[in-house]
């Protein structure tokens, strides 16, 4: 998101960052409504097909409501995410549900709420869904998530479409699945889906996925299955560190319309990161500055409990300082307060000389940030704010340490 400067003071949309840092404790997540709307509209214009927002990227109710208002559907991976989507106002017919581990209760919840499709990830799961549907006296619309064995050339921790990954049904088993449908009378196969990974930047990967899914749909149709929906996944790359470009979504649009011509089914995508990553920023306060082993450490109040991506995936987030008044430039390593050596937010970044109580911005934290935050080291989850022009509102209230501790129970024998 852009930090704008007016009389040398920073603003997000029309809201003064100075006012925010005075009013709220840090660390603090801030989202720009305009950025989310811009990302959604850009995708919609260039792809021209249905977009299901991958709720896992940021499942805050206000963010869901905003994307629902924009016209998105909801792509969920748990009963909790279905519940959030319904609460945020999504029409159940615009909710799809996948996920590699669904309990009986999760499946029942999805069926009872009449969502559009449950995407099964194994034959066992199809049999289970059929059994539950029969008990509920219902016929349920089903998709199958295929594992196309395509290497998305992304980090191994965010790859999901190789045959050795745990996700989906191997594509060469599609024939068996289709045959099995004959005896599964309470489910109706209507959709195919896949998602081969996150942060995919190579067009050739999308081309392989699209061609493979088209073939799978043609095979299913030739076997008498009435395919209505083909979902092509998410994974659109976002440029975090300024070294790679955001994915060219115009190019994706051109590719889909040239591959999926004259088809009897609807295609869709399920991106998460692309829609929200750039709309988020963390403001963190400098707690301490120290030199260890020749390294200038800035210790901040945000850490891996606030944003786990650098520790978990070695991901790079651009960090800069609110106060850049010093002409002295220093090479810093930014570390969180958590008692783990891996709690490093950025290494070797050059900033104007900083002092305690200054604020830093951690950029592009709208996706997989707050959604993956934790209470590690008994730290409460932070406030999250949504800014819309000159208005702002808390969309997730911070947790107090006492809230966290209150959930522990001491048995009466102790
Ligand atoms: C099944 C599924 N769909 C969609 C997504 C969204 O991916 P991204 O946020 O990279 O677009 C994910 C994320 O891993 C996923 O697992």
Q: Is the CB of 235 under 6 A from ligand 1?
A: yes
Contacts 24+ apart (CB under 8 A), 37-44: 37/66, 37/70, 39/274, 39/275, 39/276, 39/278, 39/279, 40/67, 40/70, 40/71, 40/72, 40/275, 41/70, 42/249, 43/236, 43/249, 43/269, 43/271, 43/274, 43/275, 44/70, 44/71
Torsion sign across C-alpha atoms 78, 79, 83, 86? positive
Are residues 159 and 103 both part of a single domain? yes
Are residues 335 and 263 both part of a single domain? no
The answer to whether 86 touches 79, Cβ cutoff 8 Å, is: no
> What pLDDT is stored for residue 241 in this prediction?
74
The CA–CA distances, whole Å, from 284 to 16, 314, 362 equal 16, 20, 8
What span, in angstroms and rounded, lies between the C-alpha atoms of 150 and 383? Answer: 39
CATH for 209: 3.20.20.10
**Domain end call among 233, 250, 269:** 269
Are residues 249 and 114 both part of a single domain? yes
Pocket test for ligand 1, best of 56, 157, 371 (most atoms within 8 A of CB): 56
How big is the CA angle at 165 (ends 266 and 237), to the nearest 5 degrees? Answer: 60
**Domain end call among 250, 269, 288:** 269
Q: Is the CB of 234 under 6 A from ligand 1?
A: yes
Residue 177 is assigned to a structural domain of this protein: yes
DSSP letter assigned to residue 382: P
Note if 70 is an active site residue: no
- Residue ranges making up the domain that contains 312: 4-30+277-406
Ligand 1 centroid vs 390 CA: distance in angstroms?
A: 32
- Please provide residue 152's backbone torsions phi and psi, each rounded to the nearest 5 degrees: -85, 5
pLDDT in tens, 141-187: 999 999 988 876 766 666 667 788 888 999 999 999 999 999 999 99
The answer to whether 142 touches 110, Cβ cutoff 8 Å, is: no
Are residues 286 and 254 both part of a single domain? no
Q: Which residue, by CA, sits nearest to atom 15 of ligand 1?
A: 195
Residue 156 is assigned to a structural domain of this protein: yes
Ligand 1 centroid vs 154 CA: distance in angstroms?
A: 13
Q: Is the CB of 303 under 6 A from ligand 1?
A: no
Length of the chain equals: 414
Residue 107 is assigned to a structural domain of this protein: yes
Predicted TM-score (pTM) above 0.85: yes
Pocket test for ligand 1, best of 54, 63, 276 (most atoms within 8 A of CB): 54
Residue 87 is assigned to a structural domain of this protein: no
Are residues 214 and 350 both part of a single domain? no
Nearest CA-CA partner of 218 in 253, 181, 167, 261: 261
Residue 70 is assigned to a structural domain of this protein: no
Position in ligand 1 atom list of the atom nearest CA 367: 9
Are residues 371 and 329 both part of a single domain? yes
Residue 57 is assigned to a structural domain of this protein: no
**Domain end call among 269, 302, 321:** 269
Residue 227 is assigned to a structural domain of this protein: yes
> What pLDDT is stored for residue 321 in this prediction?
96
Domains identified in the chain, total number: 2
Position in ligand 1 atom list of the atom nearest CA 193: 1
Ligand 1 centroid vs 40 CA: distance in angstroms?
A: 16
CATH for 347: 2.40.37.10
Of 222, 339, 341, 408, catalytic: 339
> What pLDDT is stored for residue 159 in this prediction?
66
Residue 85 is assigned to a structural domain of this protein: no
Mean pLDDT by 10 residues, the chain (414 residues): 90 97 98 98 97 98 98 98 98 97 97 98 97 98 94 68 84 95 97 94 93 97 97 94 77 96 97 98 98 98 98 95 96 98 97 98 98 97 98 97 95 98
Cis peptide before 170 (omega within 30 of 0): no
Q: Is the CB of 309 under 6 A from ligand 1?
A: no
The answer to whether 301 touches 398, Cβ cutoff 8 Å, is: no
> What pLDDT is stored for residue 315 in this prediction?
94
> What pLDDT is stored for residue 152 in this prediction?
66
Are residues 281 and 239 both part of a single domain? no
């Amino acid at each position: 998101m852009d930090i704008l400067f007016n009389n040398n003071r920073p603003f997000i949309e029309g809201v003064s960052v100075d006012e925010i840092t005075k009013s709220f404790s840090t660390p603090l997540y801030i989202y720009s409504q305009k950025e989310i709307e811009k990302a959604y509209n850009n995708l919609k214009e260039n792809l021209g097909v249905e977009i299901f927002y991958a709720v896992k990227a940021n499942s805050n109710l206000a963010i869901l409501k905003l994307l629902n208002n924009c016209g998105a559907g909801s792509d969920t991976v748990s009963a909790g995410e279905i519940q959030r989507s319904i609460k945020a106002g999504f029409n159940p017919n615009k909710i799809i549900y996948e996920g590699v581990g669904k309990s009986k209760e999760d499946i029942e919840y999805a069926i009872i709420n009449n969502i559009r499709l449950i995407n099964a990830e194994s034959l066992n799961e199809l049999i289970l869904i059929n059994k539950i549907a029969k008990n509920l006296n219902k016929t349920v619309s089903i998709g199958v998530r295929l594992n196309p064995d395509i290497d998305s050339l992304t980090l191994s921790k965010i790859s999901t479409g190789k045959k050795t990954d745990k996700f989906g049904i191997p594509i060469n088993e599609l024939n068996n699945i289709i045959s099995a449908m004959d005896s599964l009378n309470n489910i109706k196969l209507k959709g195919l889906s896949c998602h081969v990974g996150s942060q995919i930047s190579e067009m050739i990967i999308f081309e392989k996925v699209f061609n493979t899914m088209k073939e799978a749909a043609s095979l299913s149709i030739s076997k008498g299955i009435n395919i209505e929906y083909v979902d092509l996944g998410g994974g659109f790359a976002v440029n975090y560190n300024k070294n790679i470009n955001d994915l060219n979504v115009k190019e994706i649009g051109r590719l889909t319309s040239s591959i999926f011509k004259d088809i009897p089914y609807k295609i869709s995508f399920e991106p998460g990161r692309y829609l929200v990553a750039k709309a988020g920023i963390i403001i963190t306060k400098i707690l301490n500055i120290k030199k260890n082993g020749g390294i200038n450490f800035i210790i901040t109040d945000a850490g891996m409990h606030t944003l786990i991506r650098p520790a978990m995936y070695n991901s790079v987030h651009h960090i800069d300082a609110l106060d850049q008044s010093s002409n002295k430039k220093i090479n810093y390593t930014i570390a969180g307060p958590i008692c783990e050596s891996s709690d490093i937010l950025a290494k070797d970044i050059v900033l104007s000389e900083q002092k305690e109580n200054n604020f830093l911005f951690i950029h592009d934290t709208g996706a997989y940030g707050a959604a993956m935050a934790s209470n590690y080291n008994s730290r409460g989850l932070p406030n999250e704010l949504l800014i819309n022009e000159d208005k702002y509102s808390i969309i997730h209230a911070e947790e107090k340490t006492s809230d966290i501790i209150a959930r522990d129970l001491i048995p009466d024998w102790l």
